[in-house]
Structure 1
């Protein structure tokens, strides 16, 4: 079944309201209305802090969009999100001579439950090649943990990279960075695997708790 037909059937049989404003969308819209789509596109701005790139603060419309996309099974939203980030991520890859793109991995259990890796699906839509790191163990979703020390214990030594990173320019990609704990653990795994030339981070959105402290 092609994607467009699948979208039409979902709109017919299931809730097709806008992920953001919750109003009913038009027939040619999938899970996001024109007004909300235009608002997000207008608010998009590429921020650069050291080796970290991001497009949005994780709040308001973009927060609702990402939550609905990955937690409520609305994978068709990946098409819209891909269009939002496409120009910027391609520019980052080109300007930093990126050799390896690595989406933050999810556990096999969570993949089976959700049915897709939200970051990989976006990269697939854009046509960006990437290497898959492994998540060695199941962890508690980070958005459910408030305590900083518990976050560190939860994610400690969870990633494994079975490919060469020596003298490579690496770009780690994720949808949300909250405290930065997951990113730091991913970087640690890469540095234990080899000696990357440079490591960059691209996130669709970052939480104020992260950028106020680290950026």
Structure 2
């Protein structure tokens, strides 16, 4: 039996004979090979209560009870305290994950959304929400990339995105220092007539770095009535 090809490394995926295939039941074909799958480091164990950072890779001095030091600083800032209720992520942002994300985001490889669809689908079942909202790109970024990677992740995983925010064009986040990201003026506009009173929103983005982007989005959603704002990212 011949398998399909891995969407990441393009190596042939060996077809595995199972009881389901013997009895003629269809099984989903894997999108990536076993080696690439193992190269993703899933986040497990104890994590920061807010941002989902794994404590196993954090020095003790950067942890304060159930929070990492970064989240403690965000929560001590009156402007940002309570803006984002919780973030969770699938994978650690390792070199391998970084390379795959770069292909997905910057080289326009839309099909890579399929790599994450099953993991995203399973993970989102543990969230309760009214709307699932992709972090938007500015028109310039959308033109550069050809698609919004957050929206691609949502639709490929079988969910329906609700666009509520638009983005003011700014310099790329990746070019900014941590303090510049934190001190940014609001980068989003609330772009819908929907009533968010007492609603719970789940934001989707590809990577959690400083948490600035997600907190900007969460803050404006709460200013427009949202009761809770959670977020989910592929990598942390």
**Cα distance, 1:192 vs structure 2:** 1.9
Give the secondary-structure state (helix, strand or coil) at the position aligned to 2:162.
coil
Cα deviation, 1:122-176, whole Å, max 9, x if unaligned, reads 111112122113324211111111241x224545243324122111011111110
- What is the correspondence of 1:31-110 to structure 2 with a 5 Å cutoff? 33-40=33-40, 43-45=41-43, 49-50=49-50, 51-92=86-127, 96=128, 98-110=129-141
Residues 27 and 54 of structure 1: CA distance in aligned 2, closer, same or farther (over 3 Å): closer
Distance between the aligned counterparts of 2:30 and 2:109, measured in 1?
9
Q: Which runs of 5+ in 2 are unaligned?
A: 15-28, 51-85
The 5-angstrom pairing of residues 116-155 of structure 1 reads: 116-148=147-179, 150-154=180-184
1:115 and 1:100 map into 2 onto residues whose CA distance is 24
- What number of residue pairs does the alignment pair up? 181
TM-score in terms of structure 2 length: 0.66
Higher helix share: 1
Give the RMSD, CA atoms, in angstroms. 2.9
* Cα deviation 1:41-63 (Å, max 9, x = unaligned): xx324657242211222122222
Bigger Rg, structure 1 or 2: 2
59-68 or 169-178: bigger deviation? 59-68
> CA 1:126–1:179 in structure 2 vs 1: closer, same or farther (change >3 Å)?
same
Structure 1: gaps of 5 or more residues: 1-7, 19-23, 207-215
Cα distance in 2 for partners of 1:73, 1:136 equals 20
1:185 Cα offset (Å) = 0.7
CA distance in 1, matches of 2:117, 2:138: 23
- Distance (whole Å) between structure 1 residues aligned to residue 13 and residue 91 of structure 2: 28
**TM-score relative to the length of structure 1:** 0.72
- Counterparts of 1:87 and 1:173, CA distance in 2: 14
Match of 2:142 among 111, 132, 146: 111
1:26 aligned residue: 12
Shift in alpha-carbon separation, 1:108–1:45, aligned structure 2, 3 A: same
* 1:76 partner SS: helix
Asked whether the equivalents of residues 25 and 31 of structure 1 are also in contact (C-alpha less than 8 Å), the reply is: no
